[in-house]
Homo-oligomer: A and B are copies of this chain.
Amino acid sequence: MAEKDTVRKEHVIGKSVKRVDAFEKVTGRAKYTEDLCDRNAYVAKVLHSTIAHGYVKSIDTSGAEKIPGVVKIVTCFDVPEYYFPTAGHPWSTEEEHQDVADRLLLERHVRYYGDDVAAVIAENEVAASQALRALKVEYEELPFVLDVHKAMEDDAPQIHEKYPNNVLKHTSIRNGDYENAIKEPGLTKVEGWYQTPTVQHCHIENPVCYAYMEQGRIVVVTSTQIPHICRRVVGQALGVPWGKVRIIKPYIGGGFGNKQDVLYEPLCAYLTTVVGGRTVKMDISREETFASTRVRHAIHFHIISYVRPDGTYAARKFESFSDQGGYASHGHSIAAKGMGCFPQLYPCPNIEADTYTVFTNKAASGAMRGYGIPQAMFAMESHTDDVARAIGVPPYEFRMKNVMPKGFKDGFSKNVNYYDTFRECMEKGRKEFDYDRRLEKYSHQTGDVRRGVGMSVFWYNTGVWPISLETSACRMVLNQDGSIQVQVGETEIGQGADTAFAQMAAETVGIPFEMVHVVSTQDTDVTPFGTGAYASRQTYMAGFSIRQTGELLKEKIIETAHELTRQMKENLDIVNGYIVRTTDGEVLMSLGELATEKLYSLTNNGHLTAESSYQIKNNAYSFGCTFVEVEVDIPGCRAEVTDILNVHDCGRLINPALAEAQVHGGMSMAIGYALSEKLLYDEKTGRPLNNNLLDYKLSTFMDHPDLHAAFVENYEPTSAYGTKALGEPPACSPAPAIRNAILQATGVALNEIPMRPHLLFDEFQKAGLLRSDHGGNEVKDYV
């Protein structure tokens, strides 16, 4: 028994405790989907279309069927006719809020180069690969379109029958009276077009899953961010009751939103049903992951601002055109979210905004870290610098003047900006980055190699309420030694969620962090319902059910302590794993003693567990900014980030070290987004050209300087533990900050990313920065 003075309340929230899965992941012992699959599993491979648009007329499987080891071939002529959606959104019982169900397991109407037309099941990889090559497909080719604006033209190929001009959806915002407001005298008009590219998530672990049948039900073990949603979509795709599907999610090697779509799980589930329930594995290659899973929406923006001489906005107009690719996936919600921040970031009474999501004959665009905000921020925050420069106000001051004020309340989400967060973050960043000194230093350069500083803010909200359901559920089980298991539907996808959950549970129940065992594997049969990892919702949303369930468990424990000690419940607390009488601090028993006594009591036995679900009807703003220094080699047409700092207000930090790691990851992703990454398509065939990690220039730590993160910890008042979004925000603001730094260094405004040497060459040439012996030659982009 512990002595009175050894039992003190220890707070674990806010401490950089070691990740619960650190040892497993560092030693390679953590089990991922592939590690768990039976080695006797059948191997399935997908035949992808080699045209960008058209119809499969026939598939000759005779040659493939003769290959030894081939078990079964399924073509687009065989699959059930259940159209299903793939986006990882909570289901809605109202049809108008459901995701678009526009695809079958395999497609006769091929909508992009790489679409899925057949699948082969074989005893091994070799036979499956041979069979793929032996399949003979006859296509009826149709014209295809890769460009959003061309796709909207009247004579463009129709990609989905239901959508004229290929417009999946168009939404608008109208505030005030734009047309009238722009007539105000003395306004400066600033107009710009901004282009962001198609990029891919490049998670280390490609999508992988295997499926088998058990007791007439289909079990899919998969690398997904959204096990409970995946269950529903598999049910929809196969036309089976959702309770007949079970999804198990082991550790996963990253997702970044790609695994927030249901990818090959439905097909895999279907394939096991055609081989009598034998295990079928689908291990998707890197090339397929690029070409046939999901990508980030390339979005083309058009922004017009009318600004007064005093630096305030009179009226603003916004248009965006989002490239959806061949299938709806997350559809319009990404473009809509991007547009959604336009009237909020720099409030202005007169706004016109329109956004279009448009099908093209490319891989489907889906969720990716930031969910439309990195695109929108590139456009909006590039534009902000353009506006500031146009009226001769330093961009930092311009932002300080115009950015969302404290107390701002969004009419739709009811989000309130409870603090003057933007300004606090900018102020902190300015100081930590020594921005003023650098800005002054780099303001008068003339050489070939110049440095510059730039900045950008970002806006991000947390979770999906009120657009969709927000709910989380949690179960806790008390063990005989006073330790607990915690189960939640929210998923560890590499970000450290399990560790944060353990910290929250320890804090609420009153036990040491080491005594919390988070059940990392989600299994839809037994894991409480939760929709998974997306929208940076993990700590915020799971927090509600963890806190609520922790309090429930604590109540039961205190009730038991009362039963065993006959001390008043009101005088009892759990402190660091001990039952303590609060009136004098006396330690009455350890939680282990209590649990053991209760579990084995012959008088009044009981197993102490608690479970609850919590519907969340809040959202929360998560804000911050990036400060960047670049070095631009003008004749070399190269820009390099030499220093970078992100400042975040994501509320209270649960684990500062993990928070910092999250920020570093997002910044790294954003640097690639700004400078090097773009998935290229052949204009003649629609074929992806660089769908591999050699040709696709993924940013690595070789490409960026030390990454710096700082935090403004304003306790989020709506939150269970004071937290709000941090998963996606770090990827939102670096790209425009880099662009603005290049602008500051060179005077050249680049309105497209990635800002590759090709682009710099063109723009520097136009700006007259290149010497004539270079400038005189016409250089073609390699695409």
Interface residues of A (CB under 8 A from B): 20-21, 23-24, 29, 35, 38-39, 90-93, 212, 214-217, 232, 235, 241-244, 277-278, 466, 469, 471, 473, 475, 477, 479-485, 487, 514-515, 517, 519, 525-526, 528-529, 592, 596-597, 599-602, 604-607, 609, 611, 613, 615
Choose one: B244, B596, B599; the contact of A483 (CB below 8 Å): B244
CB-based contact B526/A277 at 8 Å: no
CB-based contact B526/A479 at 8 Å: no
CB-based contact B607/A473 at 8 Å: yes
Q: Name the residue on B nearest A93 (C-beta).
A: B600
Query: Could you say how many copies of this chain the assembly holds?
Result: 2
Chain B nearest CB: distance from A386 CB in Å?
Answer: 40
Q: Which residues of B contact A606 (CB under 8 A)?
A: 471, 613, 615
Q: Which residues of B contact A515 (CB under 8 A)?
A: 243
Once the chains are docked, how many angstroms separate the CA of A82 from the CA of B582?
37
Q: Which residues of B contact A93 (CB under 8 A)?
A: 596-597, 600-601
Known: A35-B38, A519-B525, A526-B526. 12 other contacts (CB 8 A): A20-B215, A39-B39, A216-B514, A243-B479, A243-B484, A244-B481, A466-B602, A471-B606, A473-B607, A475-B526, A529-B607, A611-B611
Q: Which residues of B contact A479 (CB under 8 A)?
A: 241-243
CB-based contact A605/B597 at 8 Å: no
Once the chains are docked, how many angstroms separate the CA of A98 from the CA of B216?
43
Chain B nearest CB: distance from A586 CB in Å?
Answer: 22
CB-based contact A90/B611 at 8 Å: no
CB-based contact A605/B609 at 8 Å: no
Q: Name the residue on B nearest A595 (C-beta).
A: B243
Choose one: B477, B592, B604; the contact of A526 (CB below 8 Å): B477
Once the chains are docked, how many angstroms separate the CA of A164 from the CA of B526?
51
The answer to whether residues A592 and B241 also contact, given A90-B600, A471-B607, A615-B605 and a CB cut-off of 8 A, is yes
CB-based contact A605/B526 at 8 Å: no
CB-based contact A243/B517 at 8 Å: yes
Q: Which residues of B contact A517 (CB under 8 A)?
A: 215, 217, 243, 525
Q: Which residues of B contact A525 (CB under 8 A)?
A: 477, 485, 517, 519
Chain B nearest CB: distance from A41 CB in Å?
Answer: 12
The answer to whether residues A241 and B600 also contact, given A605-B469, A607-B528, A611-B611 and a CB cut-off of 8 A, is no
CB-based contact A526/B243 at 8 Å: no
Most buried by B among A235, A473, A599: A599
Q: Name the residue on B nearest A592 (C-beta).
A: B241
Contact sample, A vs B, 7 pairs, CB 8 Å cutoff: A23-B215, A215-B517, A216-B514, A241-B481, A469-B600, A475-B526, A485-B525
Q: Which residues of B contact A613 (CB under 8 A)?
A: 605-607
CB-based contact B526/A485 at 8 Å: yes
The answer to whether residues A483 and B600 also contact, given A215-B21, A215-B24, A477-B525 and a CB cut-off of 8 A, is no
Once the chains are docked, how many angstroms separate the CA of A242 from the CA of B483?
9
Once the chains are docked, how many angstroms separate the CA of A482 from the CA of B243?
8
Chain B nearest CB: distance from A210 CB in Å?
Answer: 13
Q: Which residues of B contact A232 (CB under 8 A)?
A: 480
CB-based contact A528/B609 at 8 Å: yes
CB-based contact B216/A23 at 8 Å: yes
Once the chains are docked, how many angstroms separate the CA of A277 from the CA of B484?
22
Chain B nearest CB: distance from A554 CB in Å?
Answer: 17
CB-based contact A92/B607 at 8 Å: no
Please name the 9 residue pairs, one residue from A and one from B, whose CB atoms are nearest each other, closest first: A243-B483, A243-B479, A241-B481, A529-B607, A243-B481, A605-B615, A607-B613, A242-B480, A473-B607
Most buried by B among A20, A278, A514, A525: A525
Once the chains are docked, how many angstroms separate the CA of A23 from the CA of B544?
42
Q: Which residues of B contact A244 (CB under 8 A)?
A: 481, 483
Once the chains are docked, how many angstroms separate the CA of A502 from the CA of B290?
45
Chain B nearest CB: distance from A557 CB in Å?
Answer: 14
Q: Which residues of B contact A487 (CB under 8 A)?
A: 526
Most buried by B among A212, A515, A602: A602
Once the chains are docked, how many angstroms separate the CA of A600 from the CA of B482?
35
CB-based contact A24/B214 at 8 Å: yes
CB-based contact B600/A92 at 8 Å: yes
Once the chains are docked, how many angstroms separate the CA of A242 from the CA of B212?
34
Once the chains are docked, how many angstroms separate the CA of A597 from the CA of B93?
7
Once the chains are docked, how many angstroms separate the CA of A224 from the CA of B478?
22
Q: Which residues of B contact A528 (CB under 8 A)?
A: 607, 609
Once the chains are docked, how many angstroms separate the CA of A39 from the CA of B38?
10
Chain B nearest CB: distance from A35 CB in Å?
Answer: 8
Q: Name the residue on B nearest A246 (C-beta).
A: B517
Once the chains are docked, how many angstroms separate the CA of A601 from the CA of B91?
10
Q: Which residues of B contact A519 (CB under 8 A)?
A: 525-526
Once the chains are docked, how many angstroms separate the CA of A485 from the CA of B214?
14
Once the chains are docked, how many angstroms separate the CA of A21 from the CA of B215?
6
Once the chains are docked, how many angstroms separate the CA of A93 from the CA of B594?
11
Once the chains are docked, how many angstroms separate the CA of A608 from the CA of B529?
9
Once the chains are docked, how many angstroms separate the CA of A670 from the CA of B482?
44
